[in-house]
Structure 1
Amino acid sequence: MLHQNIAIPTATRADVIAAFSYALDLTEGQPAGHCIRACWIGMQVGRELGLSPAELGDLYYTLLLKDLGCSSNAARICELYEADDRAFKQGYKTVGTSLAATLHFVFSKTARGRPLGRRVSAIGNILRNGDAIAQEMIVSRCTRGADIARTLRFSNAVCDGIYHLDEHWNGSGRPGRLEAGAIPLFSRIALLAQVVDVFHGHAGASAALEEAQRRSGIWFDPELVRALESAARHHSFWTALASPTIETRVVRLAPAEDGDRLDDDYLDAIANAFGQVIDAKSPFTAGHSRRVGDLSARMAQGLGLSPGRARWLRRAAVLHDVGKLGVSSAILEKPGELDEREWAEMRTHTTHTRAILGRIGALADLADVAAAHHERLDGTGYPLALPAAAIGRETRIITTCDIYDALVSDRPYRPALPVEEALRTMEVASGTAIDPDCLAILKASLA
C-alpha cells in the first residue's frame, strides 16, 4: 500500500550537505569523508584566526562544498588525457608544486597503455595547449560549483570561496591568477585544508604538515600555515580525522540555522542541485536527472499517487544516478560495448546510490527506491536481481522514465531515437523490464 503523506525526518541543512559531500568525494576519487575532514581542518584554522561566528558559518559551507563543480571536468579529463578521470584527479592532488613534477605526472598518465603514436599525439596536444586546457577545465569547474551553490541559497562569500578554490598565494593559480590578499580568505583556507587532508591520508600527519610548510608563500598564505601549525599542536586535531565520529563532530561545528528551514522546498533545491552535479559528469546526460524527475512526477499523479508522494518520488528520480559520480568517465563515455570489467564497474553505481542516499536522514527513504531502477520484472536486473513482487511501483515509474529518456537522447554508442521508435523499443521490453501499466501512463503523459 502506498503512503500518501510523507513526513520529513528531523534534520538540519548541515546534516544533509555533510552527507551529500560523500558524493563529491566519489567524483574526485578521494577516500570517503574527504570533504568532511577538510571541513574539520579548515574550521580549526578559522578558529585559530579568530573568525567571527558569521565568517565561520560561511567558511563551513565553503569547505563542505568546495568540490561542488568537480564533475564538470570529468569527461574532459578522460578525453584529453585518455585516462580514468577519478584516478587522474586523485593522483594529481599528491603532485608537488614544481613544473617538473607536474609534467612528469601528466606525461606518465596520459594515454598510458595506448600505442606509441597515440600517446605521442595526446602528449603533444597537451604540450601545445596545456595552459589553455587547464584554464578551460578550472573555469568550468569553478563556475559550475559557484552557480550550484547559489541555487542552494548560499551567500556570495561561499560562492566566491568555491569559485576561487584553485588560486595560489603567489599568483600561479586559477581561474583569476589572483595573488595574496586578493584571494578570498575562505578559498585560501579551503585549498590548504584540502591539501592537508590529501597528504595526511597519503603519508600521515608529519607529511601533511611538512607539505603545508613547503607550499607556504607559494600556494598558501603563510599566516594560515602558522594557524594550521598552532591548531595541529592539539592532539584532537589529528585524532579527530581518523575517528569514526568525525562526521558527527563536523555537523556539530555547523552555524546556527540561517533561515533556510529543511522543508520540502529546500529538499527539492538540494535534489535539483545534486542532479546538476550528476548530469555534469557526462555531456550525454545533460538534463537527464531533471527530465526523469519531472516525467516521474507526472506519471505518479497519473497512477493515482498524491501530490505529496509525487513530489517525494521526483526527488528519488532526480537522484537515481547519483552513484554514477563514482564511475569512471572512460566507461560512461565509451562509444562501444563495455567489457566484463567495465560492466562490473558500471553496475556499482546503483550500490553507490543506495549508500549515498542512505546516509542522508531526510532522504534515506529514497535510497532503496532510487537504487533499484535497474532491477527488472523478470528478475535479471541489478544490483539484487529482485523478483517482480519486490519491485515497488515508485521504482517501476523511475525505471520507465529512465529508459525512455535514455532512448530519446544521444548516447556515446548511438544517436537519439525518435519518440515513436523509442516507444516501440519499450513495448518489446514490456512485462520483462518495464511495467506495462507504467508504459501506458508514459504514453498518455507524452500525448
Structure 2
Amino acid sequence: MTHYPSPAGPGPAADDAPQDRLRLAELLGALSHALDLTEGQPKGHCVRCCWIGMQVAAELGLGQQARSDLYFTLLMKDLGCSSNAARICQLYLADDLSFKRNFKTVSGPRQGLGFLWRNTAAAEAPWTRLKTLKQVLARNSEIAGELIETRCNRGAAIARQMRFSEDVADGIACLDEHWDGGGQPLGIQGEAIPLFSRIALMAQVTDVFAADLGADAAAEELERRAGSWFDPDLVPVFTAVIRRPRFLADLQAPALEAAVFATPQAQHIQAVDEDYLDEIARAFSLVIDAKSPFTHGHSQRVARYTGLICDQLGYTPERRRWMVRGALLHDIGKLGISNTILDKPGKMTDREFALMKQHPVLGHAVLSRINAFRELADVSAAHHERLDGKGYPYGLDASRLTQEMRVMAVADIFDALTANRPYRAALPLEKTYAIMDDLAGPGIDPECYAALQDAVTASGWPAASDAPLAGGEWELPLAQRSA
C-alpha cells in the first residue's frame, strides 16, 4: 500500500515548493522509467544506457555541449516507443511488451525468422497463426520500416517539443539506422548516421545483452556486428569500457542512477521552471496517449476538465496549474499495460482486468521517483478510486480521498464516457450525466460532479455528434468489465 496524504481542501499544499530545486536530468531520468515500461525493458534501462554511453563519451573526449546532448539523447531515446504498440498487436497478434523486449536480442535474418515464429500469433489457433505469419513474412521489410519510422519520427518530434536541440532530435530519429545501410527508417549508412544515434544503439544492445548474458557476451555481440550494425571504430571503444573489471557490477549497482544524475552534464543543466515543467508534462501526455488509438487526446482532455472543475471550486492559480499537470500524467502507468488489454473489444478476463488495475500503481512508481511530485503521484494514482472503497487499485474510501483525488476521478470518468472505447461508442451528454448521476455519492464526489456540470454548461459543450471520439479506460459498468 502506498502512502496517501490526509484529506485537504483546495489551496496550495505545504510541499508545493518552487521548481528551482528540480533539475531537468532528475525529472527526465525518473520519467525515463515510463519509457522502459512501454519497451518491456527491466526498470532503469534508459538510465543504464545513459551511464554506458557517457562512459564512452569520456573515452572519446567529447566536448561539454556534445556530452550534454548525448546525455539527453540516451535518456530520451525511447520517446516515440509507445506510438507503434497498437500496430504491433494488430499486425503480429502479439503482446506488444514481450514482442518489443524479445526483439531487442535479434541481430540477423536467421534469428529474425525464429523471432517471428515464436512471437507472431503464438496464442492463436494454428490456422490463424499460419495465416498471420504468411502475411507478416510477405511484407516483413515494409512493416518493419513502418513501425520504426513511426517510432523514430514521433520520438524526434516530442524531443523538439521539449526544447531539445536538433542534435538530440536527430539522435533519436536515427536510433535504428545501421552502419551498413541496412537499418530503418532511412537506410542511411556510415558516418551519415549521427554519432549520438550510433552510441545510443550500441548502449542499448550492451545493456540488453549484459543483463541477460553478462558483460563478455555483450562485448562479443558488439564485435560480431561491427561493420554491419555498428561503427567499427566505435566498437573497440565500447568493448574496452565493457571489459573493465567492475563494469557489470557498476551497471547493476543501486547507486548507478544517483551517479547518472550527478554527472557534470546533469549538474550544468538549468533548473526547470514552471512553464518548462508544463511543457514536459504535455509532451509526456502525448507519449501516454499514443499507446492506444482509443486514448488519443485523453490526457489533455482530462487536464482541461480538471482545470475547469478547479476553477468552479475556487482553487488558486498555482494549485490549479499543479492539478492540470497531474491530470496530464495521470495515466502514465498505462505505458506498462499491453495493448492486447488496452484495445480489447470484448469483456476482459479476470487476469486481464487485474493487470489493467495495476496501471495506477505503475504510474505512482514513476512519478514518486521525483521528490517534487510525491503528492502529485498520490493524487494521480487515485483516479479510479471510489468514495465507497470499491475502486482500484487500493480500495481507498472517502476518509482517505482528498478533494484533489476526487476532482481528477470525475474528470477522468467524464472524458471516458464521452469518448469511444473498444467495446462501445462515445456516449452523448445526457447518457453520460445519467450514469454519473448514479455514481454521485457512492462512487464520485457530488460537489466535484456538480462543479463539472457547471463548467460544462459554462463552456458550451458540443452536441453529441461533435463530442471527442477518443478517451480513457474507465471500465463501466465495473462488474461487467471485471469478469
Q: Normalised by the size of structure 2, how large is the TM-score?
A: 0.90
2:427 corresponds, among 397, 412, 417, to 417
| Counterpart Cα distance in 1 of 2:89 and 2:306 | 32
Of stretches 287-296 and 6-15 in structure 1, the one that deviates more from structure 2 is: 6-15
Cα deviation for residue 362 of structure 1 reads 2.6
Of stretches 234-243 and 77-86 in structure 1, the one that deviates more from structure 2 is: 234-243
2:146 corresponds, among 136, 139, 142, to 136
| Counterpart Cα distance in 2 of 1:256 and 1:35 | 15
* 2:84 aligned partner: 73
Cα deviation for residue 261 of structure 1 reads 3.1
1:406-426 C-alpha deviation (Å, 9 max, x unpaired)? 111111111111122111111
- Counterpart amino acid of 2:304? D
1:254-286 C-alpha deviation (Å, 9 max, x unpaired)? 526677531111111111111111000001100
Q: Is the 8 A contact 2:23 2:270 kept in 1?
A: no
1:194-233 C-alpha deviation (Å, 9 max, x unpaired)? 0000000111111111111111111000111111122234
| Counterpart Cα distance in 2 of 1:112 and 1:438 | 46
Q: Is the 8 A contact 1:358 1:367 kept in 2?
A: yes
* 1:178 aligned partner: 188
**Secondary structure at 1:223 match in 2:** coil
**Secondary structure at 1:362 match in 2:** helix
Task: Give yes or no for the alignment of 1:437 onto 2:436.
Answer: no
* 1:118 aligned partner: 128
**Secondary structure at 1:235 match in 2:** coil
| Counterpart Cα distance in 2 of 1:256 and 1:233 | 26
Aligned residues: 446
Task: Give yes or no for the alignment of 1:58 onto 2:66.
Answer: no
1:106-164 C-alpha deviation (Å, 9 max, x unpaired)? 12211112112211221121122222211111111011101111111000000000000
Cα deviation for residue 239 of structure 1 reads 2.3
Q: Is the 8 A contact 2:77 2:172 kept in 1?
A: yes
* 1:231 aligned partner: 241
Cα deviation for residue 235 of structure 1 reads 3.1
Q: Is the 8 A contact 2:12 2:318 kept in 1?
A: yes
2:55 corresponds, among 41, 44, 48, to 44
**Secondary structure at 2:372 match in 1:** coil
Task: Give yes or no for the alignment of 1:93 onto 2:104.
Answer: yes
- Counterpart amino acid of 1:87? S
1:385 corresponds, among 395, 399, 421, to 395
- Counterpart amino acid of 2:12? Q
2:218 corresponds, among 181, 198, 208, to 208
2:43 corresponds, among 13, 28, 32, to 32
* 2:467 aligned partner: none
Q: Is the 8 A contact 1:327 1:345 kept in 2?
A: yes
- Counterpart amino acid of 1:349? H
* 2:27 aligned partner: 16
Instruction: Provide the alpha-carbon RMSD of the alignment.
Output: 1.3
**Secondary structure at 2:272 match in 1:** coil
* 1:4 aligned partner: 12
- Counterpart amino acid of 2:22? A
Cα deviation for residue 304 of structure 1 reads 1.2
Of stretches 235-244 and 401-410 in structure 1, the one that deviates more from structure 2 is: 235-244
* 2:408 aligned partner: 398
Q: Taking every aligned residue pair, what percent have the same amino acid on both sides?
A: 50
Q: Is the 8 A contact 1:375 1:385 kept in 2?
A: yes
- Counterpart amino acid of 1:89? K
| Counterpart Cα distance in 2 of 1:175 and 1:419 | 43
Cα deviation for residue 297 of structure 1 reads 1.1
**Secondary structure at 1:222 match in 2:** coil
* 2:155 aligned partner: 145
| Counterpart Cα distance in 2 of 1:301 and 1:254 | 42
- Counterpart amino acid of 2:67? L
- Counterpart amino acid of 1:230? A
Q: Is the 8 A contact 1:60 1:254 kept in 2?
A: no
| Counterpart Cα distance in 1 of 2:423 and 2:297 | 19
**Secondary structure at 1:363 match in 2:** helix
- Counterpart amino acid of 1:53? Q
Q: Is the 8 A contact 2:25 2:266 kept in 1?
A: no
Q: Which runs of structure 2 are paired with 1:255-270 in the superposition (5 Å)? A: 255=265, 260-270=270-280
Task: Give yes or no for the alignment of 1:407 onto 2:434.
Answer: no
Q: Is the 8 A contact 1:16 1:361 kept in 2?
A: no
Of stretches 231-240 and 285-294 in structure 1, the one that deviates more from structure 2 is: 231-240
Q: Return 5+ residue gaps in structure 2 as ranges.
A: 1-7, 458-483
Cα 1:408–1:105 change in 2 (3 A) is same
Q: Is the 8 A contact 1:260 1:266 kept in 2?
A: no
Cα deviation for residue 237 of structure 1 reads 3.1
Instruction: Write out the 4+ residue segments of structure 1 that deviate beyond 4 Å after TM superposition.
Output: 256-260
Cα deviation for residue 298 of structure 1 reads 1.5
2:250 corresponds, among 240, 243, 246, to 240
Task: Give yes or no for the alignment of 1:288 onto 2:298.
Answer: yes
2:328 corresponds, among 314, 318, 323, to 318
Q: Normalised by the size of structure 1, how large is the TM-score?
A: 0.97
Q: Is the 8 A contact 1:30 1:90 kept in 2?
A: yes
- Counterpart amino acid of 1:265? D
| Counterpart Cα distance in 2 of 1:219 and 1:110 | 24
Cα deviation for residue 288 of structure 1 reads 0.3
**Secondary structure at 1:248 match in 2:** helix
* 1:219 aligned partner: 229
2:312 corresponds, among 291, 302, 320, to 302
Task: Give yes or no for the alignment of 1:348 onto 2:362.
Answer: no
| Counterpart Cα distance in 2 of 1:260 and 1:232 | 31
